């Protein structure tokens, strides 16, 4: 059960046990187990990288056994609004239509006021959210975290991508992130189920277009991990909702998108199995994030609902799901556990959009969300070069 040790004194005892096990059992065992390059799941990785990836797995397991609150964001506590680039966006009920409105009613989800954070160029007075220039371009980034953790603020992991993206794609002058609602499920009080994050992301897009004044064609929607899934869902929603004031963005970048929350790509030869020792996302695929995301919808929606799992192998119909989407880059790590669903997604998008509009790139020897990993060289730099080469076209 997730968060089984969230209460004291069990939490302290658990931390103590994990520390002893890590220092005196797991770390020595891994050091010997992966000492020789031929024994490592990725021969080209150094021993230190191997140990780091395994350690990240232990960290996330520990958090899912106790608490993930430390990786969530309270916008009011990030710092002075002007200093951290904080803005607030008012809710709009009219943005919630169609299938998304129906799902929202089931999960009792309503539009709320949400926070957003700006990175990059500021106005003359040093404030953020200044009106867009006539041809100014912006990246609308959606952070990852399995829909249960993560932050859009400057202390969050995706803030690193925000700063690096501006270096590698300097014709984009600003990056904007929205603090979308996270999902939570039993044994915690349920909240933020689908489509809360999508509604908040739509509100952020509307803010960029109708408040700040960016032309949709000058917006790149981007996202990593669960944020990649959300970026794809947002682009699809913009197409399907047909809201007159909102048209499709100029480009879509999906970085290690998690697109099969029903975990239908399983089996002894699947990437879920073969890459289990070269990735650290096991706990995000263990069931809790999926159950929290689905909420009161039928649990079968985890693999039958294209909004939740667009790469599910159990979808009854996948044809036409991605028609009308903008040019898209899917950036995958070649040794990720969720590589197979990303390949399925790429194939389905190519079938609907044509190969000219879909660029699928696997970064050799890269694990999950390499663009966020400063330590993951030379793969990190190569991934940013791929991103830069593609982004300069839009």
Residue 4 placed within a domain: no
Which residue numbers in the chain have pLDDT < 50? none
Edge to edge, what strands does the sheet with 328-333 contain? 86-89, 114-120, 172-178, 137-142, 219-224, 251-255, 328-333, 358-363
Does 140 share its domain with 259? yes
Phi and psi at 254, nearest 5°, equal: -110, 110
**Res 82: pLDDT:** 87
* Count of structural domains, the chain: 2
Residue 248 placed within a domain: yes
What is this structure's pTM? Answer: 0.97
Range of the domain at 47: 10-66
Tokens of 156: 């969050």
Residue 188 placed within a domain: yes
Q: List pLDDT tens digits, range 125-152.
A: 889 999 999 999 999 999 999 999 999 9
Does 49 share its domain with 85? no
Q: List pLDDT tens digits, range 341-352.
A: 999 999 999 999
Does 198 share its domain with 232? yes
Does 168 share its domain with 44? no
**Count, residues in the chain:** 394
Does 117 share its domain with 197? yes
- The CA-to-CA distance between both ends of the chain, in Å, stands at 46
């Amino acid at each position: 059960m997730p968060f089984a040790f969230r209460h004291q004194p069990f939490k302290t005892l658990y931390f103590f046990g994990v520390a002893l096990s890590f220092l005196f059992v797991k770390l020595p065992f891994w050091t010997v187990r992966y000492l020789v390059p031929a024994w490592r799941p990725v021969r080209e990785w150094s021993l230190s990288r191997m140990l780091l990836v395994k350690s990240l797995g232990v960290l996330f397991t520990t958090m899912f056994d106790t608490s993930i609150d430390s990786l969530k964001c309270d916008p009011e506590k990030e710092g002075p609004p002007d200093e951290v680039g904080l803005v607030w966006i008012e809710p709009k009920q009219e943005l919630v239509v169609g299938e998304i409105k129906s799902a929202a009613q089931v999960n009792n989800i309503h539009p709320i006021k949400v926070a957003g954070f700006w990175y990059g160029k500021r106005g003359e007075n040093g404030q953020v959210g200044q009106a867009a220039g006539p041809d100014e371009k912006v990246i609308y980034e959606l952070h990852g975290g399995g829909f249960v953790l993560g932050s859009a603020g400057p202390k969050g992991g995706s803030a690193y991508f925000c700063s690096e993206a501006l270096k590698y794609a300097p014709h984009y002058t600003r990056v904007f992130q929205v603090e979308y609602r996270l999902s939570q499920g039993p044994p915690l009080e349920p909240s933020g189920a689908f489509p809360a994050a999508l509604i908040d992301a739509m509100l952020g897009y509307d803010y960029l277009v109708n408040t700040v004044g960016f032309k949709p064609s000058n917006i790149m929607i981007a996202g990593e991990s669960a944020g990649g899934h959300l970026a794809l869902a947002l682009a699809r929603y913009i197409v399907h909702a047909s809201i007159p004031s909102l048209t499709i963005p100029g480009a879509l970048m999906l970085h290690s998108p998690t697109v099969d929350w029903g975990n239908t790509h399983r089996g002894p030869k699947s990437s879920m199995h073969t890459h289990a020792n070269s990735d650290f996302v096991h706990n995000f695929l263990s069931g809790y994030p999926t159950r929290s995301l689905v909420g009161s919808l039928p649990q079968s929606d985890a693999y039958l609902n294209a909004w939740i799992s667009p790469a599910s192998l159990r979808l009854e119909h996948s044809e036409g799901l991605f028609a009308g989407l903008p040019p898209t880059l899917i950036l995958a790590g070649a040794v990720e556990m969720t590589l197979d669903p990303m390949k399925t997604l790429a194939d389905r998008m190519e079938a609907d959009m044509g190969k000219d509009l879909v660029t699928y790139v696997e970064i050799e020897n890269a694990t999950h969300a390499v663009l966020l990993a400063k330590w993951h060289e030379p793969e990190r730099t190569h991934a940013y070069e791929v991103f830069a080469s593609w982004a300069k076209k839009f």
